[in-house]
Structure 1
Amino acid sequence: MKKYLLSFALAFVSLTAFAQTDYEKVMTEKVAKIETAKTAEEFQALANDFHRIAGKDENNWLPFYYAALANIQKGRVLMQQGKTQDLDFIAGQAEKYIGAASHVAPTDNAEIHLLSKMAYSLKMMVNPQQRYMTDGAKAAEELKKAEKLDPNNPRIALIKAEDIYFMPEQYGGSKVKGMEMFKDALNKFKSYTSKTALDPNWGKSEAEYFVSQAK
């Protein structure tokens, strides 16, 4: 009987290890595509993939986080194309995943607050003049929370650089200052280490792109 129990235990451990390895393989593949995706359709496909993964792993904050990020990146692509009519809906979808990620994350999380900032910024861009004091203020508050939790986070530095670089000068924006901030963000990427291989690690290529434009 002991032999049967031992065999069962070993088989269970092997199956668990295999499932974990398979999960990490799929997650690693999908996470890598966050950096290479370019179109709204590609980001939507990723959001769908992470949604399915989250449904099988509801106690892990990362699939929810990446589902939110994919939605936000989809919205940012559409915003760059001047298609702002769907940004409220897309930001709302992202906020659902942000809420889920926040609920299961082990601690108050700078990465999640940064995503929340980005979602509010998307909403603001539907009508910047009208929403600057509402969604814009909420975005700024979430950014402060993120920076307080993780002041050396390069993604926080990257988003701050974007804000200054693209903001009109009459509201405090500056291409010159923004470029210096992109350089600072890139330096932070070079020294920052994520907690695990699946933890957020996006943004470096964007910082490199902007820094390259200054040469």
Structure 2
Amino acid sequence: MQKLSIILVVFVTSLVSAQTNYEKGMQKAFELWGQNKPVEASNMFERIANAEPDNWLPAYYAAQVNIVNSFGLQDEEKLSAQLKKAQDLINDATAISKNNPEILVLQALLYTAWVAHDGATYGMTLSPKVAAIYEQAEQIAPENPRVVYCKAEWGIGGAKYFGQDTTPFCKDLERALELFANFKPETPFSPNWGEERTKMLLESCK
């Protein structure tokens, strides 16, 4: 019995230790990102992803860093390399967690980065894909605030491009803000971003 207790203690201690290393690594990666060190942050998330093969979150965040930092890039070669890396990471995350609305939103944002870079080249082929992804994500998780707000922002961008009224999408942003108020992430590191952006977009509605 005593041996069993010792084995259990060792087992639990190793679990706690592993969890602590994961938490420390994730916190460090977020700190690097916050310090405007996207390359270092992405590399850290990737290292954690390799150490946590059953956890989709590190690959998700590594992809997100690359996508967010691709908006505004003029150098197409650099943009292409960054978004290809992000796509590979999204594929890794999807293999672990299929039909995940958070990952679907990230895929839509990756395509949006291409459209934002060169609408004339990529708009026709990728815009329908983005719209379809948001529809799919909304069917899976209609109460997810990121799904609602990102879909609304995509709609606003399209309306502006075609010179149409953007007001219908403002109601969706209001709904997203309500959803953010009640949203509880599953884990401390689960996606919980977008509320500030939603508030900013709502301000422009007024």
Q: TM-score, normalised by structure 2?
A: 0.84
Summarize deviations over 1:147-175 as a string: whole Å, max 9, x none: 11111111112212322333453526545
Counterpart-to-counterpart distance in 2, 1:48 and 1:120: 22
Residue 92 of structure 2: aligned partner: 100
Residue 209 of structure 1: aligned partner: 200
Counterpart of 2:88 in structure 1: which amino acid?
K
- Judge conservation of contact 2:32–2:40 (CA < 8 Å) in 1: no
Counterpart-to-counterpart distance in 2, 1:136 and 1:213: 23
Write the mapping of 1:67-78 to structure 2, written as runs, cut at 5 A.
67-76=62-71, 78=72
Measure how far apart 1:103 and its partner are.
0.6
Seen in structure 2, the aligned counterparts of structure 1 residues 84 and 206 have a Cα distance that, compared at 3 Å, is: farther
- Is 1:152 the counterpart of 2:151? The answer is no
Specify every segment of 5 or more residues in structure 2 that has no aligned partner in the other structure, as ranges.
none
Residue 49 of structure 1: aligned partner: 44
Seen in structure 2, the aligned counterparts of structure 1 residues 173 and 213 have a Cα distance that, compared at 3 Å, is: same
- Judge conservation of contact 2:49–2:55 (CA < 8 Å) in 1: yes
- Judge conservation of contact 1:153–1:188 (CA < 8 Å) in 2: yes
Measure how far apart 1:5 and its partner are.
5.5
Counterpart of 1:130 in structure 2: which amino acid?
T
Measure how far apart 1:212 and its partner are.
4.3
Residue 156 of structure 2: aligned partner: 165
Counterpart of 1:13 in structure 2: which amino acid?
V
Measure how far apart 1:180 and its partner are.
4.1
Q: TM-score, normalised by structure 1?
A: 0.81
Counterpart of 1:14 in structure 2: which amino acid?
T
Residue 27 of structure 1: aligned partner: 26
- Judge conservation of contact 1:54–1:60 (CA < 8 Å) in 2: yes
Equivalent of 1:121 in 103, 109, 112: 112
Between the aligned residues of both structures, percent identity stands at 28
For CA contacts below 8 A with separation 6 or more, give which structure has more relative contact order. 1
Measure how far apart 1:57 and its partner are.
0.8
Seen in structure 2, the aligned counterparts of structure 1 residues 12 and 170 have a Cα distance that, compared at 3 Å, is: closer
- Judge conservation of contact 1:166–1:173 (CA < 8 Å) in 2: no
RMSD in angstroms over aligned alpha carbons?
Answer: 2.6
Seen in structure 2, the aligned counterparts of structure 1 residues 200 and 167 have a Cα distance that, compared at 3 Å, is: same
